[in-house]
Chains A and B, each alone.
Chain A
């Protein structure tokens, strides 16, 4: 939306982390236009269903193409769009419920294919749009509207999952650190392969984790976030595993594997020597003599 649209009635709550994620994505896309000289319309933003997915309507300035589809299916829609048009910059934006719960089945196949898309996952460890139910990243024992006596499932560690599945670019950001996040998204877009930027994007209404993440001396809370140390080598898988198992919330590039062909590259290689048949040639195979 370039200007205020009177019909559009969705608003993020004050303080919602998704504001910062939107800004960061705007910066990253602007940076891409600047450096590549390609028009904004070569960007496609595929959004999940949730508060987070509304980002696609709330972008300011020049508008990319958007696809706001159905809950949990951003990745396979991105698969079709990217493979149909490898020249497009395809970005997925989705909540943790959309991406890691209903959409979980789609992560492993894209990782195996090394699909060349950039995903921005807004993790607030709760279902915002449906008003506060538990999500895969909600902590064990947490009281939510759907877990009145405490959550019975262990919380998922998404970064460890991505590593295990073989995602070739993994980073984590925080919605309050917009500039840093924009850099991570830019790097993810530039990565030739399956890239995920996992973002801590707190929900002020149903799961306000700002204090927990940043720390609050008044409540004697130590900060959970910490920066990935400069000496970390993202190309080393072992090091990445150690990093994500250390506890807390590491911010920065966790893992980056370069040189693995993406799906479009691999298919092009495999089919290099096959000559496509014309319709007439295809039909000739069935012709009676």
Chain B
């Protein structure tokens, strides 16, 4: 049988082109119709330091980065030693000929730099590697050649050098006597596709939602959103700007939201911590805005370039006092695009802050997705007050139209407890009414959708965020082994779709795979009367499918088992 799926990791030093190799491979494969996903983790320093990236290529949609490596491309001895244990039995090590490796089956020494030099194009090492890979998996060389022609269109000398590099890599690999097996030919989808990174999908989605103002402060792994906005959010009525801190960013976003605009910022955990008071102000003064938290690892500075799902609690209640933020957490690159549009809709509809929880692996992941039909979701705008002056902006328990400065209905947007006009008050009955008013507005956000399969099963698997992919792959594996489980998933974490919550409350057990120590989402579910337990990992890396399969089946068996050993 032909190979359906293969995983290659490029490991070396920062600055050696490791990142671009995985992405070039992904792009080339996606162009001919394979499904791809990349996975990257970077050192924090700019030059040097161990770096690796991974690409998974398959003939059906890719759900996770891949557990075991079919090919390890090691550019130095350290990279070889560190990553060798993840090679699958029978996998191939392609390593730089400048160092020796213990003969352990399939190894291939490649003089990468020399071959690139021979090709006459010093920066073509990527193509040498890709040429060699093409041989290993019997991928038509023509795919690569077309890719080179497309990529360097109009620069004939560069094309020639790179084509030569491909050929040299291919031939050098062909001088070894083994191959990995033949990768099945792809079936190019009939629909148009994008090859896009999670952060870019989010930024494009925000543009589609009609964002007017973006103010942000650089922080890994959210910086690319700032860079995108500085470049593209321009023109009359638009404003993108690098703030002097996250405190300045959230405050400026508040000012823009108040002034009638759709405003947002993207940050990571440390920035979200600094935004705490400002987000509380948005809740209190009822100002629409969107904050993206691209989660990274650990408290304080933590692990800036690693992944974790440990900001759920922070996102839910970032501020002091009684408040609970709406949260949307996309689980895939495609969902990034839609999540941000829904977030803007929610913000405008309930007139308050909405948090989007992304995470490092998702933000950096490059994936092929169907080109989204943006007309499929309605973009909601501001419910603007158009009456006369003397308006009671915060009257009653219901949502009230929002006056926009310059227009009628001047009021004071107030972060202190206030009366209907917006003047400060401390009356107990007023605080009761206003607190209830603010919470009751969340009812307008109960339109979230969710996925479910085998809802009749009493034990359910319900991941959130980017653990969706590995969990779904694990779910499929478990199902094929006869482990009976229900599947639930939603990106609308708060408020949860009410029907979903009702279904979950009836389950014997809901298992929540999540990348944190504190079991945050299952803890929230338990507070809502769901018998939920987390399946936790806190390594800074995403779940491996095989670990999830093992951990989930252990939990299921411990419950008296519903295993049908096939």
In this complex, what residue of A is CB-closest to B215? A80
A10 CA / B260 CA spacing, docked (Å): 29
A69 within 8 A of partner (CB)? yes
Tell me whether A158 is interfacial, beta carbon within 8 Å: no
Interface segment, one of B48-56, B232-240, B442-450, B465-473: B232-240
Asked if A81 contacts B277 (CB within 8 A), the reply is no
A52 proximal to B (CB < 8 A)? no
Task: Evaluate contact between B419 and A81: CB separation under 8 angstroms.
Answer: no
Q: How large is the interface on B (under 10, 10 to 19, 20 to 34, 35 or more residues)?
A: 35 or more
How many whole Å from A252's CB to the nearest CB in chain B?
31
Task: Determine how close the nearest CB of chain A comes to the CB of B257; give it in whole angstroms.
Answer: 8
Residue B552 interfacial (CB < 8 Å): no
Query: Given A70-B278, A106-B244: A80 and B405 within 8 A (CB)?
Result: no
- Our pick among B235, B371, B412 for the contact of A66 (Cβ within 8 Å) is B412
Q: Which residues of B contact A282 (CB under 8 A)?
A: 204, 207, 232
Least CB distance from A46 to B in Å reads 7
Q: What is the distance, in angstroms, from B270's C-beta to the closest C-beta of chain A?
A: 16
**A66-B410, A279-B208, A286-B194 in contact; A85/B260 too (CB < 8 A)?**
yes
Q: Min CB distance, B244 to chain A, in Å?
A: 4
Q: Let me know if A7 and B238 touch, CB within 8 A.
A: no
**Interface residue? B122 (CB, 8 A):** no
Query: Of A119-127, A202-210, A242-250, A269-277, which stretch is located at the interface?
Result: A269-277
CB distance from B217 to the nearest CB of A (A): 11
Instruction: Say yes or no for B368: interface residue by CB 8 A criterion.
Output: yes
With known contacts A68-B413, A286-B196, A78–B244 Cβ distance under 8 A: no
Chain A contacts for B200, CB-based, 8 A? 286
Contact of B278 among A40, A56, A73 (CB under 8 A): A73
A7 close to B427 (CB less than 8 A): yes
Contact B204–A279 (Cβ < 8 Å): yes
> At the interface, is chain A mostly helix, strand, loop or mixed?
mixed
- Centre residue among A1, A54, A62, A283 by max chain B CB count within 10 A: A283
B423 touches A5 (CB 8 A): yes
Report if A150 contacts B (CB, 8 A). Answer: no
Contact A41 B412 (CB under 8 A): no
User: Chain B residues with Cβ under 8 A from A8's Cβ?
Assistant: 419, 423-425
Query: Does B427 lie within 8 Å of A76, measured CB to CB?
Result: no
Q: Is A230 an interface position by the 8 A CB rule?
A: no
A77 to B412, CA, bound (A): 14
A83 to B256 Cα, complex, angstroms: 7
Complex A-B: 28 CB contacts under 8 Å: A7-B430, A9-B424, A9-B426, A41-B389, A41-B407, A42-B406, A44-B405, A57-B423, A65-B412, A67-B412, A68-B414, A68-B415, A68-B424, A69-B415, A75-B251, A76-B249, A77-B251, A84-B259, A84-B260, A85-B259, A105-B244, A271-B234, A277-B232, A279-B208, A283-B194, A286-B195, A287-B194, A288-B193
Question: Which B residues lie at the A interface, using CB under 8 A?
Answer: 30-31, 150, 192-196, 200, 204, 207-208, 212-213, 215, 232, 234-235, 238-239, 241, 243-245, 247-249, 251-261, 263, 277-278, 280-281, 285, 368, 371, 374, 389-390, 403, 405-416, 419, 421-427, 430
